[in-house]
Amino acid sequence: MADLPIYLFVMAIIAAVLYGLVLLGKPHSSLRTIAKTLPVTLLALSAFTAGLSWFLVVALGMSAVGDAFLARKNQTRFILGLASFLIAHLAYSWQFWGMPDLSIAPWKIILTGGLVGALVATVLKHLWPHLKDLKMPVVAYTVAIAIMAITAFSTGIIYPLMIGVGLFLISDIVLSHETFVLDEASSSRKITGRIIWYCYFFGQALILATFVFG
């Protein structure tokens, strides 16, 4: 069925919006975990049924696994979620590494790498006093997402790919601040939660759209 990937893609968007409107911020439950995991799982199925690269399927599939781990809060699940997303970022990086735009001047990629490096270094400096025994896992994860951003730029595909990667990066920055810095009782969590979810999901959706609709 040629249109199946598109149907799954649209279903993923609907599921993500419904989760954001109905269950985001609600107490943890099995239903909330399933609803949180479903949207990116549907994106992974869209990539699979479209016959796209296994790197994309793995990236989206591991993101869905990460969503499941992070649906409930404890340190073990957090580390497993972090590892899942690290694998997802590396899979994306491998996908982008294989499709460079050779017309991009090397100095532009170097400059982009420097800007991304400066950004992640600033974020790490902000988080460092709060990381405790999670310093090394967070550093490894930060390096992985920086590599993904740089390899995505090397493809020369600004929209929708780089927009999607940018949204993904924003979601991770806000999530790290919420997780390690923001007080549990802070009213700001109502705002940060929505920024994280919508930037994260639509970031992934735009990355996939590059290949489904490109």
How does pLDDT run across 19-62, given as a tens digit for each residue?
Answer: 999 999 898 899 999 999 999 999 999 999 999 999 999 999 99
Helix (H) or strand (E) holding 178: helix 163-180
pLDDT higher than 60, residue 80: yes
169-205 tens-digit pLDDT: 999 999 999 999 999 888 899 899 999 999 999 999 9
**In Å, how far are 102, 104, 114 from 107, measured between CA atoms?**
12, 8, 10
- Of the pLDDT bands very low, low, confident and very high (cuts 50, 70, 90), residue 96 is very high
18-29 tens-digit pLDDT: 999 999 989 889
- Of the pLDDT bands very low, low, confident and very high (cuts 50, 70, 90), residue 1 is low
Backbone angles phi, psi at 41, to 5 degrees: -60, -40
Q: What is the mean pLDDT of residues 140-151?
A: 96
* Other CB atoms within 10 A of residue 136 CB: 9
Q: Are the beta carbons of 207 and 92 closer than 8 angstroms?
A: yes
Question: What does pTM read for this prediction?
Answer: 0.96
Assigned token pair, 62: 């591991």
158 phi-psi bin (left φ>0, alpha ψ -120 to 50, beta other):
alpha
In this predicted structure, which of 117-121, 162-166, 170-174, 184-188 has the lowest mean pLDDT? 184-188
